[in-house]
Amino acid sequence: MAVKAKSEKRKAQSQSVKLKIGKMELKNPVILASGTCGFGKEIEELVDINALGAIVTKTITLRKREGNPSPRIAETHSGILNAIGLDNDGLKNFMFEKIPYLRTLKIPVIVSIAGDRIEEFVKLTEETQKSSCVKAIEVNLSCPNVSHEGTKHAILAQDSHAVEQIISRLRKITKRTLIAKLSPNVTDIKEIARSAERGGAEAVSLINTYPGMAVDVSTMKPKLGNVTGGLSGPAIKPLALKCVWDAYNSIKIPVIGSGGIMTAEDAIEFMLCGACAVQVGTANFVDPNAPLKIANGIKKYLKDKRISSIKGLVGKLKTCKTN
Ligand SMILES: Cc1cc2nc3c(=O)[nH]c(=O)nc-3n(C[C@H](O)[C@H](O)[C@H](O)COP(=O)(O)O)c2cc1C
């Protein structure tokens, strides 16, 4: 009896940070955010990518895109503004130039895709899923720096009908885990999250950047060539947390949280508000090892709090309604 009790106790003390999103298995809940780690190879000498949960590639489009005029990045007091404009070399280049490296990784690869028309999303999904290393597709419905056909909205994720339509179309053609990446720049994030769920997404990922701008008063010019851009980093964290909390309370599928996560404590805040995993973006530019430190910090927190798995953390915010 004593031996059994001891082994039970040991089991309870060894924390598991593994999780599943759809069919995709992650060894920990820390994911590299799209656009902040290229296609992996760019950061391979700076960080042990295989120690992380997963990597989301830079968003790719069907055809090569030049992106926006420079400057494309402007620093602000507590974050960065970017207006890259989905600069990428297109699907063909991705399949021939990027997949060979991504295939060597031992963690799930999540391909981020974007398009102006639904057929472009379809083609991108059909082609990228041919590679077995692609375990999930993150549908970027939320880029603030591009325009779209077929919707009067500036950002696809502002149109709940378009979100449901695109996701349900992709659902019919892929068995890969489908993640809808949503924008915070909406009237009601709950409505948009529910559309993604209805469409058949296995998870939503939020948030992408907030629209913003900065001005150089010496030249009287905008700091970004595109004039406006997307704000990321610590400035948006409280706003992102609220979006995650709202989405978590309105859908049954998992929520992947992002927006200003720089430390393990930030990540844990997101998980308490309902995120089953987190994406780290801007922090990579400050410290490429931040995601690894965050993963280790989450594990330590679980151990200190004697919580046996991340399930015991997700959505466990103690509000006056629950306690
Ligand atoms: C320079 C830069 C480029 C980005 N490019 C993309 C992109 O191509 N696709 C995308 O879905 N999100 C992109 N993002 C948004 C991030 O993936 C992330 O959702 C956002 O920055 C919030 O997280 P953070 O505050 O940790 O950076 C980009 C962000 C930055 C800073």
Of 37, 133, 143, 243, which one is the catalytic site residue? Answer: 143
pLDDT of residue 142: 86
**What percent of the chain shows pLDDT beyond 90?**
88
Q: Please compute the mean of the pLDDT values over residues 121-126 and round it to a whole number.
A: 98
Instruction: Please tell me if the CB atom of residue 260 comes closer than 6 angstroms to any atom of ligand 1.
Output: yes
Q: How confident is the model at residue 126 (pLDDT cuts 50, 70, 90)?
A: very high
Q: Please compute the mean of the pLDDT values over residues 94-121 and round it to a whole number.
A: 96
Say if residue 222 is preceded by a cis peptide, omega within 30 of 0: no
pLDDT above 60 (res 211)? yes
Q: What is the pLDDT of residues 266-289, one digit of tens each?
A: 999 999 999 999 999 999 999 999
**143 has catalytic annotation:** yes
Reading the block at residue 265, the tokens are 């404590």
Q: What is the pLDDT of residues 148-204, one digit of tens each?
A: 666 667 788 888 999 999 999 999 999 999 999 999 999 999 999 999 999 999 999
pLDDT of residue 147: 58
Q: How confident is the model at residue 1 (pLDDT cuts 50, 70, 90)?
A: very low
Please tell me the total count of domains within the chain.
Answer: 1
C-alpha span between 260 and 283 (Å, rounded) = 8
C-alpha span between 275 and 294 (Å, rounded) = 14
Query: Between 157 and 18, where is the model more confident?
Result: 18
Report yes or no on 146 lying in a domain.
yes
Q: What is the pLDDT of residues 232-247, one digit of tens each?
A: 999 999 999 999 999 9
CA of 37 to the centre of ligand 1 (A): 10
CA of 281 to the centre of ligand 1 (A): 6
pLDDT above 90 (res 119)? yes
pLDDT above 60 (res 116)? yes
Report yes or no on 319 lying in a domain.
no
pLDDT above 60 (res 8)? no
Burial track 49-62 (b if 16+ CB lie within 10 A, e otherwise): bebbbbbbbbbbbb
Q: Which of 61, 181, 208 to mutate to test the pocket of ligand 1 (most atoms within 8 A of CB)?
A: 208
Reading the block at residue 261, the tokens are 């996560």
C-alpha span between 232 and 179 (Å, rounded) = 20
Q: How confident is the model at residue 66 (pLDDT cuts 50, 70, 90)?
A: very high
Q: Of all atoms in ligand 1, which is nearest to the CA of residue 285? A: 31
Instruction: Please tell me if the CB atom of residue 256 comes closer than 6 angstroms to any atom of ligand 1.
Output: no
Distances in whole angstroms, Cα of residue 23 to Cα of each of 93, 141, 162, 183: 27, 22, 25, 24
Residues belonging to the chain: 323
Give pTM, 2 decimals.
0.94
Boundaries of domain holding 169? 2-312
Which residues have C-beta within 8 Å of that of residue 31, sequence separation ≥ 6? 52, 53, 54, 55, 56, 110, 256, 277, 278, 279, 280, 291
Q: How far apart are the first and last CA of the chain?
A: 36
CA of 208 to the centre of ligand 1 (A): 6
Report yes or no on 323 lying in a domain.
no
Distances in whole angstroms, Cα of residue 222 to Cα of each of 27, 62, 73, 244: 43, 30, 11, 31
Task: Give me Rg for the CA atoms of the chain.
Answer: 19
pLDDT of residue 9: 54
- Residue 171: which CATH number? 3.20.20.70
C-alpha span between 277 and 30 (Å, rounded) = 6
Q: Which of 31, 32, 34, 285 to mutate to test the pocket of ligand 1 (most atoms within 8 A of CB)?
A: 34
Please provide the average confidence, as pLDDT, over all residues in the chain: 93
pLDDT of residue 279: 98
- Closest CA to ligand 1's atom 14: 35
Report yes or no on 321 lying in a domain.
no
Report yes or no on 53 lying in a domain.
yes
Report yes or no on 213 lying in a domain.
yes
Report yes or no on 248 lying in a domain.
yes
pLDDT of residue 13: 55
Q: How confident is the model at residue 321 (pLDDT cuts 50, 70, 90)?
A: confident
Report yes or no on 103 lying in a domain.
yes
**What percent of the chain shows pLDDT beyond 70?**
92
Q: How confident is the model at residue 6 (pLDDT cuts 50, 70, 90)?
A: low
